[in-house]
């Protein structure tokens, strides 16, 4: 179980995102530059207890129709080897010391736990309360996309940014060569039911600037085949 420390971070996550968001291909620019505000999300537990995992929804601005971006993040006590390109920044945590904060779509621990959530082997946790499941998060995965062995973990193959999403190609033990599973992480959140064909989906809530709650897709499972590399 991850422990949430209610303490200071310097700089804060939102301050880091203010600088980082404009560097992303999927970021929707707004007048006046980034003004990210936390709008919802959830956490997942790292079974090893080493890596913090958070899916954070952030609104950009306070006006009606403000864009809501989804930023999955991991928090580590040491640099993740080979992931320099995915580093959002470092922050001094009031309890844990220096934390390296990464775009979680490039972190194998987050990817494995996202697949476990889809497969029903992990439970979404409240974003800011210890040891408290978040019942508003729903996850489904078709049998055709699920590993036959409940102990199998998804292996991150690659992550590629698109105009409003990041596609993560994963494979599980026993996956035939040249095939893989694509998890599409929505970077721009849109409320309402999604009719796009998918082999699985994570849906969750976020808050709009007017105080109302919206719900929509966070992640879609697009295919059970594709070049796994």
Give the domain ranges of the chain.
9-223
What pLDDT score was predicted for residue 63? 80
In this prediction, residue 48 has a pLDDT band, given cuts at 50, 70 and 90, of very high
Weakest-pLDDT range from 2-11, 40-49, 97-106, 207-216: 2-11
Q: Whose CA is closest to 90, among 70, 75, 108?
A: 75
- 153 versus 125: the higher-pLDDT residue is 125
Retrieve residue 81's tokens. 């080897």
Q: In what order do the strands lie in the sheet with 87-93?
A: 9-10, 87-93, 97-103, 67-76, 52-60, 36-44
Q: In what order do the strands lie in the sheet with 165-171?
A: 138-141, 200-207, 213-223, 181-186, 165-171, 155-161
Rg (CA), the chain: 17
In this prediction, residue 21 has a pLDDT band, given cuts at 50, 70 and 90, of very high
Q: What's the pTM value of the predicted model, to 2 decimals? A: 0.91
Judged against a pLDDT cut of 60, whether residue 229 lies above it is answered with no
Retrieve residue 86's tokens. 């995915």
Return the bridge partners of 38, or none. 58
Three-class SS state of 21: helix
**Interval 70-88 mean pLDDT:** 97
**Interval 90-110 mean pLDDT:** 90
What pLDDT score was predicted for residue 197? 87
What pLDDT score was predicted for residue 1? 55
How confident is the model over 132-151, as pLDDT tens digits?
Answer: 999 999 999 988 787 666 55
**Interval 87-107 mean pLDDT:** 90
**Interval 214-222 mean pLDDT:** 96
- 19 versus 176: the higher-pLDDT residue is 19
Retrieve residue 90's tokens. 């470092």
Contact 45, 2 (CB under 8 A): yes
Q: Whose CA is closest to 94, among 36, 174, 11?
A: 11
Q: Whose CA is closest to 218, among 142, 166, 161?
A: 166
Judged against a pLDDT cut of 50, whether residue 227 lies above it is answered with no
Strand runs labelled E in the chain: 9-10, 36-44, 52-60, 67-76, 87-93, 97-103, 138-141, 155-161, 165-171, 181-186, 200-207, 213-223
């Amino acid at each position: 179980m991850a422990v949430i420390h209610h303490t200071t971070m310097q700089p804060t996550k939102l301050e880091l995102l203010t600088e980082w968001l404009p560097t992303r291909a999927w970021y929707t620019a707004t007048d006046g530059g980034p003004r990210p505000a936390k709008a919802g999300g959830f956490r997942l537990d790292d079974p090893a207890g080493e890596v913090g995992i958070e899916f954070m929804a952030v609104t950009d601005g306070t006006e009606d129709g403000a864009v809501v971006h989804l930023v999955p993040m991991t928090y580590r006590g040491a640099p993740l080897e080979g992931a320099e390109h995915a580093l959002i920044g470092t922050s001094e945590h009031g309890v844990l010391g220096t934390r390296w904060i990464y775009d979680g779509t490039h972190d194998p621990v987050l990817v494995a736990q996202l697949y476990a959530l889809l497969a029903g082997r992990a439970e979404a946790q409240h974003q800011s309360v210890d040891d408290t499941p978040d019942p508003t998060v729903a996850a489904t995965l078709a049998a055709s996309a699920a590993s036959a062995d409940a102990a199998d973990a998804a292996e991150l193959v690659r992550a590629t940014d698109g105009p409003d999403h990041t596609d993560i190609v994963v494979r599980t033990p026993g996956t035939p060569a040249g095939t893989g599973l694509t998890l599409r992480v929505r970077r721009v959140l849109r409320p309402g039911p999604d009719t796009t064909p998918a082999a699985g989906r994570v849906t969750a809530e976020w808050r709009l600037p007017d105080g109302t709650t919206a719900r929509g897709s966070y992640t879609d499972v697009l295919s059970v085949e594709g070049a796994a590399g």
